[in-house]
Structure 1
Amino acid sequence: MKVEYFIGIVPPEEYLERIEHFQRKWINQLGVEPHITLKAQGGLTADKKWIDKVQRACKDFKSFQVSLDKPKYFGDNILYLSVRSNSLHELHQKIVKEVSPSEVLIQQYFELDDFVAHLTLGKAQYGGNVSTGLSKKELKEMERLADIELTPYPQFEVNFIRVYELNNEKQRYEKYLDISLSN
Structure 2
Amino acid sequence: MKVEYFIGIVPPEEYLERIEHFQNKWIKRSGVEPHITLKAQGGLTPDKKWIDKVQKVCDTFKPFQVSLDKPKYFGDHILYLSVVSHHLHKLHQEIVQVISPSEDLIEHYFELEAFVPHLTLGKEQYGGNISTGLSKKELKEMERLADKELTPYPHFEVNFIRVYELNIEMQRYERYIDISLSN
- 1:118-133 alignment runs, 5 A limit: 118-127=118-127, 132=130, 133=133
Name the counterpart of 1:59.
59
Helix, strand or coil for the counterpart of 2:87? helix
**How far, CA to CA, are the matches of 1:43 and 1:126 in structure 2?**
25
User: Is residue 84 of structure 2 the alignment partner of residue 81 of structure 1?
Assistant: no
User: Is residue 10 of structure 2 the alignment partner of residue 10 of structure 1?
Assistant: yes
Name the counterpart of 2:92.
92
- 1:94-173 alignment runs, 5 A limit: 94-127=94-127, 132=130, 133-173=133-173
**How far, CA to CA, are the matches of 1:125 and 1:45 in structure 2?**
28
**How far, CA to CA, are the matches of 1:71 and 1:163 in structure 2?**
25
Taking only the aligned residue pairs, the percentage that are identical comes to 81
Q: What letter matches 1:31 in structure 2?
A: G
Alignment RMSD: 0.8
Moved over 4 A (4+): none
**How far, CA to CA, are the matches of 1:169 and 1:85 in structure 2?**
35
Gap runs ≥5 in structure 1: none
Name the counterpart of 1:32.
32
Return the offset for 1:100.
0.3
Return the offset for 1:126.
1.9
**How far, CA to CA, are the matches of 1:19 and 1:77 in structure 2?**
19
Helix, strand or coil for the counterpart of 1:8? strand
Name the counterpart of 1:46.
46
**How far, CA to CA, are the matches of 1:112 and 1:84 in structure 2?**
16
**How far, CA to CA, are the matches of 2:108 and 2:50 in structure 1?**
19
**How far, CA to CA, are the matches of 1:105 and 1:86 in structure 2?**
24
8 Å contact kept, 1:79–1:139 = yes
8 Å contact kept, 1:68–1:154 = yes
**How far, CA to CA, are the matches of 2:170 and 2:34 in structure 1?**
17
Gap runs ≥5 in structure 2: none
Q: What letter matches 1:51 in structure 2?
A: I
Helix, strand or coil for the counterpart of 1:86? coil
**How far, CA to CA, are the matches of 2:58 and 2:89 in structure 1?**
13
Return the offset for 1:95.
0.1
**How far, CA to CA, are the matches of 1:35 and 1:24 in structure 2?**
15
Question: Any idea what the Cα deviations from partners look like across 1:14-63, whole Å, max 9, x if unmatched?
Answer: 00000000000000011000000000000000000000010011111000
Q: What letter matches 1:7 in structure 2?
A: I
**How far, CA to CA, are the matches of 1:131 and 1:93 in structure 2?**
32
**How far, CA to CA, are the matches of 2:30 and 2:124 in structure 1?**
14
User: What is the TM-score when the length of structure 2 is the normalising length?
Assistant: 0.97
8 Å contact kept, 1:81–1:118 = yes
**How far, CA to CA, are the matches of 1:181 and 1:120 in structure 2?**
24
